[in-house]
Amino acid sequence: MLARSQQAMASPDRMDAAYAQPLSLATSRPDGAVWLSLAVLAALLLSAGSVAAEPQTLRFQPHWVPQAQFAGFYLAKDRGWYQDAGLELEILPHGAEHPAPATLANEDADVALLYLTQALELREQGVDVVNVAQLIQDSSLVLVSLAESGILVPEDLYGERVSRWASFSLQPEALFRTYGVQPETVDQGATMAALRTGAVAAATATRYNELVELYLGGLDPDEIEVMPLEDHGVGLAEDGIYVLESTLRERPDDIRAFVEVSLRGWEYAFAHPDAAMDAVMDRVIRAGEPTNRAHQRLMLEALRPLYLEDDELRGPELDRQDYQLAVSLMRNLGHLEWEPVPYEQFHRDLAQ
Amino acid sequence: MNGRKSLAVRLALVTLLTTGSIFFISSGALYFMVRDIMLEHAEDQARELTHATANRIRSSLNEVAGSAQGLASALNSGQIRPDGLFPVLDDVTLQSDAVQGTAVTYEPYAADPDERYFGPFSYETPDGIERMNLGGDDFDYFTRDWYQIPALTRSGFWTEPFPSAADPDRLITTYSRPFFDPDDAEALRGIVTMDIELPALTERVDEVEIFDSGFAFLVSPRTRFITYPQRDWIMRESLFSLAETLDEPELRELGRHIQRTDEGFSRVPEVLLEEPARLYHVRLPEANWAVGVIIPERELFGDILRVMHWVLIIAALGFFILLGTITGISRGITRPLKGLASSAGEIARGNLDRPLPPIRTGDEVGQLAHSLDEMRLSLKDYINDLTATTAAKERMESELKIARNIQMSFLPKRLDLADLDVGIDLAARLIPAKEVGGDLYDFFPLREHNALFFAVGDVSDKGVPAALFMAVTKTLVKGIAEQDPRDPGEILARVNNELCLNNDNGMFVTYLCGVLDLGSGEVRLANAGHNPPLIRRADGTYDWLKLPPGLVLGAMEDMEYPVQTVQLGPGDALLLYTDGVTEAADGEQRLYDEDRLFELYGEIASRPARGQVDAVLESVERFADGATQADDITVLALRYCPRDEECAE
Q: Could you tell me the CATH number of the domain that includes residue B562? A: 3.60.40.10
Residues A145 and A280 in one domain: no
Report the number of distinct structural domains present in chain B.
2
Q: Is residue A9 domain-resident?
A: yes
Distance between CA B528 and CA B636 in Å, rounded? 17
B143–A161 CB contact, under 8 Å: no
Phi, psi of A320 (to 5 degrees): -60, -40
pLDDT band for position A325 (50/70/90)?
very high
Distance between CA A341 and CA B302 in Å, rounded? 76
Q: Is residue A18 domain-resident?
A: yes
Distance between CA A204 and CA A41 in Å, rounded? 38
Q: Which residues of A touch B101 (CB under 8 A)?
A: 1-2
* Partner-chain residue, chosen from A199, A291, A293, that has the shortest CB–CB distance to B149: A199
Distance between CA A121 and CA A162 in Å, rounded? 24
| Alpha-carbon distance A33 to nearest alpha carbon in chain B (angstroms) | 19
- Tell me which chain A residue has its CA closest to the CA of residue B156: A197
Distance between CA B543 and CA B565 in Å, rounded? 16
pLDDT band for position A187 (50/70/90)?
very high
Span of B434-443, B455-464, B521-530 with lowest mean pLDDT: B434-443
A216–B240 CB contact, under 8 Å: yes
Tell me the pLDDT tens digit for each residue of B325-352.
Answer: 888 888 877 787 888 888 888 888 888 8
Residues A103 and A191 in one domain: no
pLDDT beyond 80 at B618: yes
Residues A285 and A260 in one domain: yes
Phi, psi of A232 (to 5 degrees): -115, 25
Q: Is it true that the peptide bond before A316 is cis, omega within 30 degrees of 0?
A: yes
Residues B467 and B608 in one domain: yes
Distance between CA A179 and CA A152 in Å, rounded? 13
pLDDT beyond 80 at A22: no
Q: Which residues of A touch B142 (CB under 8 A)?
A: 187
- Tell me which chain A residue has its CA closest to the CA of residue B241: A294
Query: What is the structure's pLDDT at B526?
Result: 93
Phi, psi of B378 (to 5 degrees): -60, -45
The secondary structure element, H or E, covering residue B95 is: helix B85-95
Residues B373 and B513 in one domain: no
Query: What is the structure's pLDDT at A20?
Result: 33
Distance between CA A106 and CA A122 in Å, rounded? 11
Tell me the pLDDT tens digit for each residue of A99-150.
Answer: 999 999 999 999 999 999 999 999 999 999 999 999 998 899 999 999 999 9
Q: Is residue A79 domain-resident?
A: yes
Residues B375 and B487 in one domain: no
Q: Is residue A181 domain-resident?
A: yes
Q: Order across the sheet with A88-91: list the strands.
A: A88-91, A57-61, A111-114, A240-244, A129-134
| Alpha-carbon distance B255 to nearest alpha carbon in chain A (angstroms) | 7
Q: What percent of chain A has pLDDT over 90?
A: 70
* Partner-chain residue, chosen from A1, A3, A194, that has the shortest CB–CB distance to B145: A194
Span of A266-270, B215-219, B505-509 with lowest mean pLDDT: B505-509
**Cβ A205 vs Cβ A144: under 8 Å:** yes
pLDDT band for position B509 (50/70/90)?
very high
- Tell me which chain A residue has its CA closest to the CA of residue B252: A218
Tell me the pLDDT tens digit for each residue of B53-81.
Answer: 999 889 888 989 999 999 999 999 988 88
Query: What is the structure's pLDDT at A41?
Result: 52
Distance between CA B67 and CA B93 in Å, rounded? 9
Q: Is A214 exposed, middle or buried (0-12, 13-18, 19+ CB in 10 A)?
A: buried
Query: What is the structure's pLDDT at A39?
Result: 53
Q: Is B193 on the interface with A (CB under 8 A)?
A: yes
Q: Which residues of A touch B139 (CB under 8 A)?
A: 3, 6
The secondary structure element, H or E, covering residue B110 is: none
Q: Is A148 on the interface with B (CB under 8 A)?
A: no
Q: Is B133 on the interface with A (CB under 8 A)?
A: no
Q: Is residue A352 domain-resident?
A: no
Q: Is A59 on the interface with B (CB under 8 A)?
A: no
User: SS3 of A125, please?
Assistant: coil
Q: Is A215 on the interface with B (CB under 8 A)?
A: yes
Residues A338 and A284 in one domain: yes
Residues A222 and A254 in one domain: no
pLDDT band for position A53 (50/70/90)?
very low
Residues B465 and B357 in one domain: no
Q: Which residues of B touch A20 (CB under 8 A)?
A: 140
Residues B533 and B580 in one domain: yes
Residues A193 and A210 in one domain: yes
Length of chain A: 352
Q: Is B144 on the interface with A (CB under 8 A)?
A: yes
The residue type of B443 is F
| Alpha-carbon distance B283 to nearest alpha carbon in chain A (angstroms) | 15
Q: Which residues contact B387 (CB under 8 A, 6 or more apart)?
A: none
B245–A297 CB contact, under 8 Å: yes
pLDDT beyond 70 at B213: yes
Q: Is A208 exposed, middle or buried (0-12, 13-18, 19+ CB in 10 A)?
A: buried
Q: Is residue A283 domain-resident?
A: yes
- Chain A, 20 to 49: residues with Cβ < 8 Å from chain B are 20, 24
| Alpha-carbon distance B275 to nearest alpha carbon in chain A (angstroms) | 22
For residue B333, CA distances in Å to A188, B3, B17, B312 come to 93, 16, 21, 31
- Kindly report the number of other CB atoms within 10 A of residue B539's CB atom: 9
Q: Is A188 on the interface with B (CB under 8 A)?
A: yes
Q: Is A7 on the interface with B (CB under 8 A)?
A: yes
Q: Is residue A273 domain-resident?
A: yes
Query: What is the structure's pLDDT at A17?
Result: 35
B149–A194 CB contact, under 8 Å: yes
Q: What is the DSSP letter of B236?
A: T
Residues A145 and A189 in one domain: yes
Residues B417 and B351 in one domain: no
Q: Could you tell me the CATH number of the domain that includes residue B323? A: 1.10.8.500
pLDDT beyond 70 at A25: no
Tell me the pLDDT tens digit for each residue of A76-95.
Answer: 999 999 999 999 999 999 98
B143–A6 CB contact, under 8 Å: no
pLDDT beyond 70 at A40: no
Span of A193-197, B272-276, B638-642 with lowest mean pLDDT: B638-642
| Alpha-carbon distance A17 to nearest alpha carbon in chain B (angstroms) | 8
User: SS3 of B208, please?
Assistant: coil
Mean pLDDT of all residues belonging to chain A:
85
Kindly give the residue spans of alpha helices, DSSP state H, lying in B228-301.
Answer: 239-245, 249-260, 270-273, 297-300
For residue B136, CA distances in Å to A12, B139, B489 come to 21, 5, 174
Q: Is residue A75 domain-resident?
A: yes
Q: Which residues contact B116 (CB under 8 A, 6 or more apart)?
A: B108, B109, B135
* Partner-chain residue, chosen from B123, B237, B256, that has the shortest CB–CB distance to A1: B123
A218–B223 CB contact, under 8 Å: yes
Q: Could you tell me the CATH number of the domain that includes residue A160? A: 3.40.190.10
Q: Which residues of A touch B194 (CB under 8 A)?
A: none
**Cβ B109 vs Cβ B197: under 8 Å:** no
Q: Is B142 on the interface with A (CB under 8 A)?
A: yes
Query: What is the structure's pLDDT at B647?
Result: 59
Residues B508 and B609 in one domain: yes
The residue type of B173 is T
Average pLDDT over residues A262-290: 94
Residues B449 and B511 in one domain: yes
A197–B141 CB contact, under 8 Å: no
Report the number of distinct structural domains present in chain A.
2
pLDDT beyond 50 at A50: no
Query: Cα(first)–Cα(last) distance of chain A, in Å?
Result: 54
Distance between CA A294 and CA A280 in Å, rounded? 12
B164–A290 CB contact, under 8 Å: no
| Alpha-carbon distance A65 to nearest alpha carbon in chain B (angstroms) | 15
Query: What is the structure's pLDDT at A32?
Result: 47
Residues A180 and A225 in one domain: yes
pLDDT beyond 60 at A6: no
> Best-predicted range by mean pLDDT among A7-11, A33-37, A256-260?
A256-260
Residues B438 and B554 in one domain: yes
Q: What is the DSSP letter of B479?
A: H
Residues B483 and B365 in one domain: no
Residues A96 and A226 in one domain: no
Residues A129 and A264 in one domain: yes
Q: Is A220 on the interface with B (CB under 8 A)?
A: yes
**Cβ B614 vs Cβ B575: under 8 Å:** no
Tell me the pLDDT tens digit for each residue of B14-43.
Answer: 888 998 899 889 988 988 898 888 889 889
Query: What is the structure's pLDDT at A132?
Result: 95
**Cβ B130 vs Cβ B202: under 8 Å:** no
User: SS3 of B639, please?
Assistant: strand
Q: What are the beta bridge partners of residue B409?
A: none
Q: Which residues of A touch B132 (CB under 8 A)?
A: 2-3
Q: Is A54 on the interface with B (CB under 8 A)?
A: no
- Tell me which chain A residue has its CA closest to the CA of residue B288: A197
pLDDT beyond 70 at A55: no
Q: Which residues of A touch B222 (CB under 8 A)?
A: 216-218
Residues A113 and A155 in one domain: no
- Pairing mode of beta strands B522-528, B509-517: antiparallel
A5–B121 CB contact, under 8 Å: no
Average pLDDT over residues B286-295: 91
Distance between CA B17 and CA B362 in Å, rounded? 30
Distance between CA A262 and CA B405 in Å, rounded? 134
pLDDT band for position A36 (50/70/90)?
low
pLDDT band for position B228 (50/70/90)?
very high
Q: Which of A207, A232, A257 is the last residue of a domain?
A: A232
Residues B505 and B606 in one domain: yes
Distance between CA B269 and CA B244 in Å, rounded? 13
Residues A128 and A255 in one domain: yes
pLDDT beyond 50 at A8: no
Q: In chain A, which ranges are E strands? A: 57-61, 88-91, 111-114, 129-134, 141-146, 161-164, 184-187, 202-206, 224-228, 240-244, 308-309, 312-313
A6–B139 CB contact, under 8 Å: yes
Q: Is A221 on the interface with B (CB under 8 A)?
A: no
Phi, psi of B474 (to 5 degrees): -60, -45
Q: Which of A208, A232, A256 is the last residue of a domain?
A: A232
Domain that holds residue A161: 141-232
B164–A217 CB contact, under 8 Å: no
**Cβ B297 vs Cβ B276: under 8 Å:** yes
Domain that holds residue B559: 412-647
Residues B337 and B436 in one domain: no
Q: Which residues contact B321 (CB under 8 A, 6 or more apart)?
A: none
Q: Which of A185, A209, A232 is the last residue of a domain?
A: A232
Q: Is B99 on the interface with A (CB under 8 A)?
A: no
- Tell me which chain B residue has its CA closest to the CA of residue A19: B138
